[in-house]
Each structure stands twice: as C-alpha cells, then as structure tokens.
Amino acid sequence: MQLTLTDWAVVALYFLFNLAIGLYYKSRAGKNVNEFFLSGRNVPWWLAGTSMVATTFAADTPLAVTGMVAVGGIAGNWLWWNFVASGMLTVFFYARLWRRSGVMTDIEFSEIRYSGKPAAFLRGFRAIYLGIPINCIILGWVNLAMVKILGLVLGVNKFEALLIVMGLIALTSSISTLSGLWGVLVTDLFQFVVKMGMVTVLAVFAVQAVGGIDSMKAKLAAVDQARLAQGGHGSVLNFVPDLNSAWMPMITFLVYISMNWWSTWYPGSEPGGGGYVAQRMFCAKDERNSLLATLWFNIANYAVRPWPWILVALVSLIVYPGLADPETGYIRVMIAYLPPSLRGLMVAAFAAAYMSTIATQLNWGASYLVNDFYRRFWKKNESDRHYVAASKWATVLLTIVSAIITFNLDSIAGAWKLLLVTGAGTGGVLLLRWYWWRINAWSEVSAMISGFAVSLALQMAWGLDKDQPRDFAWIMIVTVSITTAVWLAVTFLTQPESKETLVAFYRRTHPSAAGWRPIAKLAPDVRPSTGGLANLVDWICGCVLIYGILFGTGKLLLKDFTTGSLLLAIGLAAGAVIYWDLSRRGWSTVVD
C-alpha cells in the first residue's frame, strides 16, 4: 500500500498528540503509585468504561474476527460472544464489591480475603504468573497482529516488522511511564474514537466494493455452495452455528454457552472481573461509577464494536477466498478498497488500536510486578518515587519478553484458545470467593495448579488438540470437572480462614449474608448487601440487552428489517428494565 507524504504527516500528528497527553499528565502520575496505577480513584464511569473497551479493541481483534468468520461464518464469533454472561455477572454482582474492597490490584485481594503464608504465596505467585508469562502472551498476540499489518502495508518481512513494532512499544511505554493511568485513560478515549470511526468507514467502502449488501449476500450464497461441495454445513450468514458442522459441533457450542463463560479465566472476561477490568473499577469515583463503567464496557464491547469487523471479514471471503492465513484478509481488503486519501488515518487507527491495548497491558502488568511482588516481598518500605521508578523498569522488562514471544507466535486465535484451556476450571473459585465464606487460599492455589496440569496433560499425554473443535470441548469438560472436584476437596480438607480475617473482609466489602451466615453473626452491626434476586433479573436483562442489540443490528445491516427491529426492541426493553430497577434502588453504595 502506497503512503503519501500527507499520510505520513497524519500518522506523525497522531503520535505527537499521544505524546502531548503523556507530557500533560506527567506531573500527576509521578506523585505516588495510587495516581500512577489508579488515577487517584477519581475517574468518571464513561472514561473508565471507554478505556476498558478501547483496551479490548486491539490491532489483533479485527484480524482474529476475520479468521473466525473465515472458518465458521458470522457464528464463528461465539468463541467470544459467549462471555456476555460473564461480563454481566461482573456488572451486577461484583463491580460494587470490587470498588468497595479498596485494593490497588485484583491480586492484592488475596491478602484481604485470605491470611498467612498461603495468602502471601497466592499473591506472589499470581503476580509473577499473570504479570509476566500470561501478560506477555497477550502482548505477544497483539504485537503479532501489528507485525502482520505492517508486513502487508509496508511490504516488510516479519523481523523488520517486529523492529518497527518495538519502536511503537518504546513510544507507547514512554507515554505509559510518563503519565501513568491518567494518560492511558485519556489516550484510550481519543484512540477509541479514531479506530471505531475508521473501521466503520472501511466497512462502508468494502461493502460498496462488492456491490452493496444485496450483492454481498448473493455472492456469499455462492461461497456457501462451494463450502457445501467440500462437506461444509450452514450459511456463513447464520448467527447460530449449524450444530452438524465440523468447525463447531453441538458439543463444542454447548461448552461455549454453558461452561466457558463462568469456568474459565480469560483476560478481559475473568469470572467476577479481574485484570485491567478490575483496575478500571478500582479507579472509578465510587461504586455507582464502577457499575456504570462496567455496564458501558460490556455494551460497547459486544454490541457496538463487532459489525464493522464482521462486514469486512465477509467481504474478504468473497474477494480473497482460500487464503493460507485468513486473518490477513482484513488487511488485504483495507489495502485494496480504502481510498488513498484515508490511508494515513487508517494506519493511525491501527496504531491507536495497538497502542491502547499495549499501554494498558504494560501499566496493568507493571502494577502486578511492583505492587504485588516487588513492594510486598522485596522492598517494603521505600518511597513512592522509588516504586514509580521500579514500575518504569518493570515496563521495560515486559516489553522485551513480549517481543521474544511475538517472534514465536503464528496464530492470534490460537493464542486465544491457549489461554482459554490453561485458565479452565478456576472460574468457580473466583466467583464463589466473594459469596461463600468457606473458600480459602488453598482453594485458589489448587484450582490454578490442577487446571493448568490437567489441561497440559490432556494435550501432551493424551494428544488432544485445542485447535480441533471436539478436542477443545473435551479439554474444557475434563479440565473443568477435575479442577472443580480438586478445589472443592481441598476446601473441605483444609482449615477455613481465621475468623478475624473473615470478619474484617465482611466488614470491608459487605457481601451478601446468604453465604456468610457464620461470619455475619459475628458482625451484627454490618449491613450486608441485599437484592440478590433483583441482581439476577438485571443480569438476565443485561444479556438480553446485549444480544438483542448485537443481533438486531446485524439483521438490520443484512436488510432483515422485521427481525432486526424486533430484536432491537427486545434488547432496549431489557435495558429499560435495568434502568428502572437501578433507579428504584437509588444506586445505593451499600444496598445491592
């Protein structure tokens, strides 16, 4: 793709604007670690929520979605659409509890919920495990997407593209280390507007290039016929997969919708919230802003973002059938059909998508390494200036490790599935630790170890392949079943946490008394959270809201106006129920 001097000027202005934001927030970020990692806990919901969705909208996301559509049509997106239920659980059952806990990271939670050496071990282990290998795998697949984009746009090889990416990381990390979370949040807002605008523009031009929606549907019917001749099933335009298909048989689809969303730790969709989603909840002004931020994130993440990507992916099936690497179809459509006058903006949009995720992952990962390992176990009584400096060095470490991982990755979607299976089985503990007093530190430790070990054994000793749909389903079923049995057994075979620790946690977070009755009796003055049934109704309505908008918008775009309008109406009606209920309850900071 040829870029003019004007294009490069647009890209340069984009980077200069981001750097200016970093310099503007430099003095605020350097005050203390609370400002550096949590923006002083004074962020409004719309900024925190937009930052969450900007982080999940990385350079890899359109490419991964294009790969899913190439394999399974629109329904291929159920790999991540199933996490709607998990996201809505976080909104209505966990967002206010997280904000109420007052911790700096979700890992620090370990030492307010548990006590003693097991709690310390859990905190330190998770800080290193999630902060370096897991975080760097995420950084690696985001880097890989940018490498693929640069390789096609600039015509360079993987190594040369990786060198350019390292330069982008250096710029991003300098902004992150200059400005802390405030700079990340504000640049996320700017970057989200840029990238959503440009992917929407690309979708319009791509559809026009194949003759409009009607022509696109007709040409996709020919694609369906070609697939049918090769033994395929169903239409690429189906929103729900054909359960006789090889790419998603019934057992795999049932695992997605009934198990994945609650049982698996996955970045951005952790059961009950975690990672950078938890970080944004911590930085919100109060519990109301924490809930609203998470609600806006889930609506934008699942209902607003997908269709521009999906439309371009469908066009790529028509104009570039049979690509060896179908994920590159998105970039090829961009190169072929985006007008020259918009190419600079599109490159800036991809840079925005890339930088928003990298900045958050670096800041979040550094918070684990510094707050939950370095300051907790190594240097306990240093100044805030010292810890801010340590955070900058941690950022450099993460940058280097992620570059090494990037060079050895080939598939973005494959890396997604790797994290799904290695995090399988831990979700039950993460959900119940808030609502059941009997969970202890060993419950979490045993879940993490057994989940990883069982998943690895199934793949290495029994030869199951996570990239094969049926094998993936069985890896999930067996791993979740064994892991759940292990952590439940460990929970009952080990002593509960001390009453002092449990009472302190109960006083601090006010969880529902239903699963804390023995502890609630020891703190009768505490007003526990109530409204569990109302939260359940809101959770169901939240799922209906998102799926109604998501599928309704899709049907309208594909000119099925009756079904689309009906689905939209159902979704909006569910949203009205949520608004009525939360207004009725007064958005209380204690009564849930």
Q: What is the pLDDT of residues 36-52, one digit of tens each?
A: 666 767 889 999 999 88
Lowest mean pLDDT among 23-27, 57-61, 184-188: 23-27
- State the pLDDT at residue 57: 80
Distance CA 589, CA 580 (A): 17
Query: What's the pLDDT at 28?
Result: 59
User: Sign of dihedral through CA atoms 533, 537, 540, 542?
Assistant: negative
What value does the mean pLDDT take over residues 75-94? 92
**How far does Cα 440 stand from its chain's mean position?**
27
Q: Tell me how far CA of residue 493 lies from CA of 413, 486, 496, in angstroms.
A: 39, 10, 9
The pLDDT of 370-385, averaged and rounded, is 83
- Identify the band that residue 277 occupies on the pLDDT scale cut at 50, 70 and 90: confident
Q: Assess whether pLDDT exceeds 90 at residue 563.
A: yes
Neighbours of 82 (CB within 10 A): 20
Of residues 107 and 211, which shows the higher confidence score? 211
Beta carbons within 8 Å of 551's beta carbon, 6+ residues apart: 239, 564, 567
Low-confidence winner among 187-201, 261-275, 331-345 (lowest mean pLDDT):
261-275
Average pLDDT over residues 302-317: 94
Q: Which residue bears the tokens 């946690």?
A: 505
Res. 301 pLDDT band, cuts 50 70 90? very high
d(CA 95, CA 188): 21
What is the helix, strand, coil percentage profile of the chain, to 5? 75, 0, 20
- 247: closest CA among 229, 267, 272, 227? 227
- Burial class for 27, CB neighbours closer than 10 Å (0-12, 13-18, 19+): exposed
SS3 45: helix
Calculate the alpha carbon distances from 475 to 41, 270, 459, 462 in Å.
40, 19, 8, 10
Q: What is the DSSP letter of 529?
A: B
Whether 27 shows a pLDDT value over 70: the answer reads no
Contact indicator for 360, 51 with CB cutoff of 8 Å: yes
Two structure tokens written together for 290: 């924490």
Q: How many residues does the chain have?
A: 592
Sorting pLDDT into bands at 50, 70 and 90, what band is 589?
Answer: very low
Span 412-440, average pLDDT: 79
Residue environment code for 517-527, b if the CB has 16+ CB neighbours within 10 A, otherwise e = eebbeebeebe
Q: At what angle do helices 469-493 and 441-460 cross, to 10 degrees?
A: 150
Over range 250-278, report the average pLDDT: 83
Residues 491-512: what's their mean pLDDT?
A: 94
Mean pLDDT in residue range 233-260? 83
Question: Letter for the amino acid at 241?
Answer: P
Structure tokens at 372: 């939950």
pLDDT of residue 389 exceeding 50, the answer is yes
What average pLDDT is seen over the chain? 85
Q: Across residues 3-24, what is the average pLDDT?
A: 75
| Position 180 confidence tier, pLDDT thresholds 50, 70, 90 | low
Considering only CA atoms, which of 427, 411, 357, 451 is closest in space to residue 169?
357
- The pLDDT of residue 32 is 58
Task: Considering only CA atoms, give the Rg of the chain.
Answer: 23
Half-sphere exposure of 118 (CA within 13 A, CB side): 17
Average pLDDT over residues 547-552: 97
Question: What are the residue boundaries of the structural domains of the chain, listed by start?
Answer: 5-422, 423-497, 530-592
Spell out the residues 6+ positions from residue 410 whose beta carbon is closer than 8 angstroms to its own: 144
pLDDT value at residue 25? 66
Higher pLDDT, 227 or 72: 72
Among the ranges given (22-26, 356-360, 374-378), the one the predictor scored with the smallest mean pLDDT = 22-26
Asked if residues 510 and 100 have their Cβ atoms less than 8 Å apart, the reply is: yes
Task: Report CA dihedral (350, 352, 358, 363) to the nearest 10 degrees.
Answer: -170
Q: Does residue 394 register a pLDDT over 90?
A: no
Q: Which residue has the higher pLDDT, 286 or 168?
A: 286
**What is the dotted CATH code of the domain comprising 5-422?**
1.20.1730.10
Listed in sequence order, the residues at least 6 apart from 178 whose beta carbon sits closer than 8 Å to its beta carbon are 22, 23, 25, 26, 29
